[in-house]
Structure 1
Amino acid sequence: MSDHQDEKMQSIEHRISVVYTGLFHACDNLPIPIGLPQADDAATVMAAVRRVYAIADEQPIPQEQREQLATGACAWLAACDLYGILRTEYEESRAEGALGNLMVAREAFKALGDWILDND
């Protein structure tokens, strides 16, 4: 990989971690907390986030916040999937797609976190 590609991959990896931290804290502060792993095992973490997506509608929060939770989880998972592909087959548009998905996830978790703080 070129230096540009290495830098982009490091940026994606860092943002995946940062956005996951936002999801982790939001889930921990939901009315019915969802415990997420702090483990470094990607398969365990991704399975847990898939579960968040699957049960988002069960939270006793307004529909908009349930949608933020589900959308953020889905976008984060999509970014992780793209990152996995990029590791073996780098393509700039795929890298930009991963970053775009992480932006969507970050904004969804930020809005959810703001709602949680306002309603705590």
Structure 2
Amino acid sequence: MKKLYLLLILSGVILAGCSKRVYYEDDIDPDYWMRTHEKGIVAYVDYFSGNYIVDTNNGYAVIEAWGSITPREYDREYGNFSNPGVQTIYNREGGYFTEGRVIDSWLTWSEAMYLLEDISE
């Protein structure tokens, strides 16, 4: 019986020492996010599909909405608009983070409108 108690105490000490450590922050600081990501202004929104065009310093980027919230025109957004793929995007006016898929970037206005029309069908 003593061996069982000793085994239980030792296993409790060993298992208590094993804990999950979080090496990244779950809550993202919006001020830090805005300093480290590209700024873009929402230039056009297709409210039927939720897809939209963002005007950045490098041209226009077409975003396919993956989150549940669609931005409004002229909202300031911060994200990695030059990198294609699913990105986390911060909307400054709304004060929320959402997911969006960057379809293409560095586009002219006519190229962006053509691509937006193509993916919204």
Query: Which is strand-richer, 1 or 2?
Result: 2
**TM-score of the aligned structures, taking structure 1 as reference length:** 0.25
**TM-score of the aligned structures, taking structure 2 as reference length:** 0.25
Higher relative contact order by CA 8 Å / sep ≥ 6: 1 or 2? 1
Query: Which is helix-richer, 1 or 2?
Result: 1
